[in-house]
Each structure stands twice: as C-alpha cells, then as structure tokens.
Amino acid sequence: MWVFRARLLQLIRGALTGEPSEVAFARNLIIAFLPAAVIGAIFIKTIKSVFYHPGVVVVTLVVGGLIMLYVERRTHHTPGDQPGAADDTASDERASAYTLEQITWKQALGVGVAQCFAMIPGTSRSGATIIGGMIAGIQRKTATEFSFFLAMPTMLGAAVFDMYKNFGVLTQHDLSGIAVGFIAAFLSAMVVVRAVLRFVANHTYRVFAWYRIVFGAVVAAWIFTR
C-alpha cells in the first residue's frame, strides 16, 4: 500500500467524487476480489483437505511454469516472427488494456477467477493474477500493477477472516509474531514491488517460469529420495 499510496489516494478521492475512470477502477478491483472471497469463504476447508500435499505443490510449480512460458510466447509472438526468435524483452502485441483505466470488467473478472487458483499450494497469487490478466488481454506491466492493487483487499480480507476464525485460540505470543511478520512483509514489499515493476517494464516472466519448473523438479527429487 505504501508503494502505491499516491495512486491509492487518487483512487479513493476519485471514487468518492464520482470520477468515471476511478469509479471503473474501483469497480474492477471489487469484481476481481469477489471470486476468491466467495470460493475461499465457502470451500477453504475442502481445498485444504484435498490439495494440501507435497505432490500437489510439485505439479502446480511445474504446470504453473509451463503456463507462464506458453502465455509469454503467445503474448510476445507476432505473425512475422520466426519460431524461437522471441527474446526476453517485454512486448505485448496482443494486449488491449495498457493502463489500469483501460481494464474492462470482463478482464477484471478473468483476473479474479485466476486468483482462485492461488488457493492451491504451490500457486503464486501474484503469478496467477498477472498471467490471468495477460491471458485476458492486459499488458504485462499493467497486469502486474493491477495484481498488486488487488493484493490489498485480498490479503487484508484473508487476514481478517483468519483472525475471526481463530481469534479464540490466539495468544499474546501469536499476536507478537503477527506484528513482526507484518513489519517484515512491509519492509520487503517496499523493495520487491518497485524492483518487479522495473523488471517487467523491459523483460518477460520467462526467468520466473523456469525458476518454478526447476524448483518443482528439485522438490520432486526430494520427495522421491527421502
């Protein structure tokens, strides 16, 4: 939130005063937030009982990496390209939304549906929403920015819901740990968010895709050899 504080204040002021572009942006955030909020509130216990297994993590890591490679190739490719000619520079020839204000409600809904897959262990919330946005036609950097904005209500909602469900068993020690974790996450986010935005302005997510595939292979090797 701190990194985007100026844009966030602009969004709040614009939404409250009826500025069309800001109202549309706020609407899109709500649309993107709702699918995971509803699915999580209703099915989180079932999801945990079915998918919380090391084997699932391996599959989601590798499959997620392959999907990222496919989406990057599909996004980067133009009719005149030769196979294998694409480099790692950012180019979104197929995108239809290049700014946050250009995102449609249908694209926002697509991002929201993609976020639901982040409930499966091994699936990155930011990765799922960014790739979901790119599939929906949002330019890479804009999809990344929208993903970070969407993280605000999503993470806050998840934290409040979890606190509500477990408030009766939380101790003073638990609350201290939560406070330390919040501070650490805040400080690291200030560095990471800016670095990621600078990176995606000129590069693709291929390096992250290969990281997921390699890490998935390492986890698989660990499971089968222990």
Q: What is the pLDDT of residue 128?
A: 95
| Ramachandran angles phi, psi of 38, nearest 5° | -70, -50
Q: Please give the full DSSP string across 33-74, using - where no structure is assigned.
A: HHHHHHHHHHHHHHHHHHH-SHHHHHHHHHHHHHHHHHHHHH
Give me the pLDDT at residue 127, please. 92
Contact 26, 216 (CB under 8 A): no
Amino acid at 214: V
Helix (H, G, I), strand (E, B) or coil at 3: coil
d(CA 54, CA 225): 13
Structural domain boundaries of the chain? 5-225
State the number of CA atoms in the 13 A half-sphere of 103 facing the CB: 36
Q: Tell me the mean pLDDT per 10 residues along the chain, length 226.
A: 78 92 95 95 89 92 95 67 46 77 96 95 92 94 93 84 71 71 73 77 88 95 88
